[in-house]
Amino acid sequence: MGENLPRVPGGAPLLSGPVRTLRAKMVLLGSSGVGKSCLALRFGKDEFKITSPTVGCSYLTQVVHLRDVTVRFEMWDTAGLEKYNSITPLYYRGAHAALVVYDISKRETFIRAQVWLKELEKQYIPGSTVIWLVGNKGDLAQDRQVSVQEGQSLANNRGLFFTEVSALSGDQVSKLLQDIAHRVYECIGGQQGGLSEWRDTTLVDLSHRNTFASCCKVGP
């Protein structure tokens, strides 16, 4: 998809005519230390940096260009520490995409991810949120405590999407964001009141933005 579009220097498609930009709220949930902040930074700036535990919530944005619309993600990286659990629902209510993240090298974070899923299910309306189970730290495969099959099985049983990534190396991170954008637009964008339109008064250099180039099926 998008392979035959004219392109500007840098490889991004040259989009003719006005393109709608839709706002989508994304939240990242999971235990402290699983790499949520690092993953959000990869999404937003394509950088990796060791960060301190998130206090409350942090915020980043990124845009993804689909064939005929742009999805502007407003990403909320929530704190994973137990003492912040009571305020976390304030951030993930109304989310269009929710990523439940665990560390493939620490089984306890996978168990905890299942608790996060149960909490999330109390807050969201079926069909209003795209939920993705994400196994992070794929670069630590030699220390793996959670198999790919376990992650995929949990996702299949809950009707979720599933991907393993590495925020450290960036492996599969860009594709994950593109796939989420496609699913959010496909599942929610067409609903009345599903995604609101966002307008920017500044000029945007498309050559420095992520470009969606695939609509392959992901997950169950």
Q: Is residue 13 part of a domain?
A: no
Residue 54, pLDDT score: 45
101 phi, psi to nearest 5 deg: -110, 140
* Encoded tokens for 183: 């699913």
Q: What's the longest Cα–Cα distance across the chain?
A: 51
| pTM of the predicted protein model | 0.77
Q: Is residue 216 part of a domain?
A: no
Q: Is residue 130 part of a domain?
A: yes
Whether residue 73 contacts residue 177, with contact meaning beta carbons closer than 8 Å, is answered with yes
Averaged pLDDT score across all residues of the chain? 78
Whether residue 75 contacts residue 59, with contact meaning beta carbons closer than 8 Å, is answered with yes
* Encoded tokens for 49: 């940096």
Domain at 150, CATH number:
3.40.50.300
Question: What is the β-pairing status of strands 97-103 and 69-78?
Answer: unpaired
Please say if the pLDDT value at position 218 is more than 80.
Answer: no
In angstroms, the CA 210 to CA 220 distance is: 25
Residue 86, pLDDT score: 54
Range(s) of the domain holding residue 186: 20-198
Residue 37 host element (H or E): helix 36-45
pLDDT tens column, 81-116: 444 455 567 777 889 999 999 999 999 999 999 998
Q: Is residue 38 part of a domain?
A: yes
Burial of 33 (0-12, 13-18, 19+ CB in 10 A): middle
Q: Structurally, how many domains does the chain consist of?
A: 1
Virtual CA dihedral for 35, 36, 42, 43, nearest 10 degrees? 160
Q: Is residue 116 part of a domain?
A: yes
pLDDT tens column, 5-32: 444 444 445 445 567 899 999 999 998 8
What SS3 state is found at 82?
helix
Residue 192, pLDDT score: 55
